[in-house]
A and B are shown apart, each in its own frame.
Chain A
Amino acid sequence: MTEAPLLSVRNLRVVYPGDDGDFRAVRNVTFNLGRERLGIVGESGSGKSTTGRAIMGLIAKPGRVEADQLRLGDTDLMKLDEKGFRKLRGKRIAMVLQDPKFSLDPVMSVGKQIAETHRQHFGSDAKTARKAALEMLESVHIRDPERVYNQYPHQVSGGMGQRIMIAMMLIAGPDVLIADEPTSALDVSVQSQVLAIMDEMVRSRGMGLILISHNLHLVSTFCDRILVMYAGQIVEICDAGKLNEAQHPYTKGLLAALPELGHRRNELPQLQRDPTWLVDLPAAVGADT
């Protein structure tokens, strides 16, 4: 990669202290993010969401984030305090969560929430912020932005809610968007629309996208590259199109365990977990990418 990465993660660890010593929810995680769509897949508890939250500075105490390097462009995220992160979030790095019903403020009209983000980061007046919010709503393909602007979260559908979230997250023009299961709560008919919008926005703005998902199918068709996580570590990095050539037995096991339309098997091969997968891997696994 000739261009400097947008995000550079070296040997990231997220540690929660426990009665039996520290628990490392994320360990030895190393990767670079360029202007690309990077997928992180894994099962519940694999550390994929925690990795995203660590980058956003959202790990609550007593959890600790440790890393040899965690840089967003020229900013060292390890040196930031909460105040510093607050300036950064939304402006340079943003996150879309699974269910818009819970991530939107239920007692504020959606337009105001988007405008608030604009005012916060640009110190703009109400009129400018409103105009920017309306433009943003239009850019996520909402046909009647004026009407949606005045609606409250409970009045919009799930798909519409996720468009609104995307609009809010992108209004301050971040370089990196982290989407954590952005379509899992949506109907299949709207899932692909939301993904297409995210794709369009990320491409047209030259952003980097991290898509966190448990859906192997989706990630392999949507992303450029995939990180496969197991028990807090990246066990494999592969090109999205080459997921079926994956080497790690965990990735292979997951793929085999998926039921397939038109290829009915009497019994699905069940994943046999190997204790050796838990052994610490060299942190340099994703360093050269």
Chain B
Amino acid sequence: MIRVENVSVTYGHGASLVRAARNVSLHIPEGDALGLVGESGSGKSTVMRAVAGLIPHAEGRIFINGQEMPNKRPRETRKIAQMVFQDPYGSLHPNQTVDQTLAAPIAIHGLGNAEQRIITGLTEVGLGREHRFRYPHQLSGGQRQRVAIARALILEPKVLLLDEPTSALDVSVQAEILNLLTRLRRERGLTMLMVSHDLAVIAHICDRIGVMSRGELLEMTTATAMADGAVTHPYSQQLLRANRGFDPSSIDIDA
């Protein structure tokens, strides 16, 4: 469903050229979920944004649903892959109601039958009719993220791109959103690419996990291997330790 071949993303040029992603290749079959982990600046979000078409890639090729994605994406291709961002406080327009937010993609893609689509869209993510004409500030963080997911799903995409979808949320709300994502994936056969720094969250959703550092994809492993501690890269091991909580014995504190 998603195939990324030797993709590099660069910013700037000449002496100030930054290679945010270098020769990244990955493949996600239809219905699968792949997670990317790495510290800030490792390029995980860059790869996701390149797949989403939010930033151009300098080298390599990106295929979604068998179609090669050019840097300037035709409108139809945007329907195939939709994205959910980290902070629902930032990703929803504060002056637009939920209804307006959900109506925009329908209008842009000329889908029609907006009324029915919006109602179904809200029900699917567990929101009621009473939420339809509210503004984002009248919703809780969890409800806002549901709206963001509804907006992504309203175009009936085959691919869902998730950039830290629960890291701005409380634990109990995180569980609700993770359950929602699991259910949607099962019901719609969605293919998912997810970025997170929380290993437990990634392993909950994704079968395969890629570890990134300094723009490179260093290690491709599975949730099961992570759980067994069978990872080789130092950063993967660090992530694993951090996931187990605080352990002073394993820390080099000099900087």
The 0/1 profile, CB within 8 Å of B marked 1, for residues 200-215 of chain A is 1000000000000010
Contact between B253 and A196, CB atoms less than 8 A apart:
yes
Given the known interface contacts A189-B39, A189-B238, the answer about A218 and B245 at a Cβ–Cβ threshold of 8 Å is yes
Select B247's contact among A44, A142, A221, beta carbons within 8 Å: A221
Q: Which of A53-61, A120-128, A255-263, A278-286 contacts B (4 or more CB under 8 A)?
A: A255-263
Which residues in B have their C-beta under 8 angstroms from that of A189?
Answer: 39, 235, 238, 242
Task: Tell whether B17 is near chain A: CB-to-CB under 8 Å.
Answer: no
Given the known interface contacts A196-B248, A254-B171, A267-B179, the answer about A187 and B39 at a Cβ–Cβ threshold of 8 Å is yes
Task: Tell whether B73 is near chain A: CB-to-CB under 8 Å.
Answer: no
Which one of B200, B201, B227, B247 has the highest number of Cβ atoms from chain A below 10 Å of its Cβ? B200
The CA of A220 and the CA of B247, in the complex, are separated in Å by 11
Tell me which residues from 210 to 255 in chain B have a Cβ below 8 Å from any Cβ of chain A: 223-224, 226-228, 235, 238-248, 250-255
Contact between B39 and A271, CB atoms less than 8 A apart:
no
Q: How many residues of A contact B (CB 8 A)?
A: 43
Task: Tell whether A191 is near chain B: CB-to-CB under 8 Å.
Answer: yes
Task: Tell whether A245 is near chain B: CB-to-CB under 8 Å.
Answer: no
Task: Tell whether A160 is near chain B: CB-to-CB under 8 Å.
Answer: yes
Contact between A188 and B244, CB atoms less than 8 A apart:
no
Given the known interface contacts A192-B251, A197-B253, the answer about A214 and B245 at a Cβ–Cβ threshold of 8 Å is no
Which residues in B have their C-beta under 8 angstroms from that of A163?
Answer: 255
Task: Tell whether A159 is near chain B: CB-to-CB under 8 Å.
Answer: yes
Select A264's contact among B39, B223, B245, B248, beta carbons within 8 Å: B223
Task: Tell whether B172 is near chain A: CB-to-CB under 8 Å.
Answer: yes
Which residues in B have their C-beta under 8 angstroms from that of A142?
Answer: 255
The CA of A257 and the CA of B182, in the complex, are separated in Å by 14
Which residues in B have their C-beta under 8 angstroms from that of A218?
Answer: 245-246
Contact between A188 and B172, CB atoms less than 8 A apart:
no
Which residues in A have their C-beta under 8 angstroms from that of B248?
Answer: 192, 196, 199
Tell me which residues from 41 to 79 in chain A have a Cβ below 8 Å from any Cβ of chain B: 43-44
Chain B contact patch, size range? 35 or more
A264 to chain B, nearest CB (A): 6
Select A271's contact among B175, B223, B235, beta carbons within 8 Å: B175
The 0/1 profile, CB within 8 Å of B marked 1, for residues 32-44 of chain A is 0000000000011
Least CB separation from A271: chain B residue: B172
The CA of A200 and the CA of B246, in the complex, are separated in Å by 13
Least CB separation from B186: chain A residue: A266
Contact between B238 and A264, CB atoms less than 8 A apart:
no
Contact between A216 and B39, CB atoms less than 8 A apart:
no
Select A270's contact among B179, B226, B239, beta carbons within 8 Å: B179
Least CB separation from A188: chain B residue: B242
B179 to chain A, nearest CB (A): 5
Which residues in A have their C-beta under 8 angstroms from that of B171?
Answer: 43, 214, 216, 254, 257-258
Given the known interface contacts A163-B255, A193-B251, A270-B175, the answer about A261 and B245 at a Cβ–Cβ threshold of 8 Å is no
The CA of A260 and the CA of B200, in the complex, are separated in Å by 5
Task: Tell whether A152 is near chain B: CB-to-CB under 8 Å.
Answer: no
Select A196's contact among B197, B224, B251, beta carbons within 8 Å: B251
Given the known interface contacts A43-B172, A262-B227, the answer about A188 and B255 at a Cβ–Cβ threshold of 8 Å is no
Task: Tell whether B67 is near chain A: CB-to-CB under 8 Å.
Answer: no
Which residues in A have their C-beta under 8 angstroms from that of B242?
Answer: 188-189, 191-192
Least CB separation from B223: chain A residue: A264
B122 to chain A, nearest CB (A): 19
The CA of A270 and the CA of B188, in the complex, are separated in Å by 22
Task: Tell whether B204 is near chain A: CB-to-CB under 8 Å.
Answer: yes
Contact between B227 and A261, CB atoms less than 8 A apart:
yes
Least CB separation from B41: chain A residue: A187
The 7 closest A-B pairs by CB, nearest first: A262-B227, A221-B245, A257-B175, A259-B204, A271-B172, A188-B242, A43-B170
Q: Can you list 26 contacts pairing A with B, beta carbon distance less than 8 Å?
A: A44-B141, A141-B255, A160-B255, A163-B255, A187-B40, A189-B39, A189-B235, A191-B242, A192-B242, A193-B251, A195-B246, A196-B248, A217-B245, A221-B244, A221-B246, A221-B247, A222-B245, A257-B175, A258-B200, A261-B200, A261-B227, A262-B228, A264-B203, A264-B204, A265-B204, A268-B178
- Given A141-B254, A196-B251, A265-B204, 10 additional A-B pairs, CB 8 A: A187-B39, A193-B251, A193-B252, A217-B243, A257-B171, A258-B200, A259-B201, A261-B200, A268-B178, A271-B172
Interface residues of A (CB under 8 A from B): 43-44, 141-143, 159-160, 163, 187-189, 191-193, 195-197, 199-200, 214, 216-218, 220-222, 253-254, 257-271
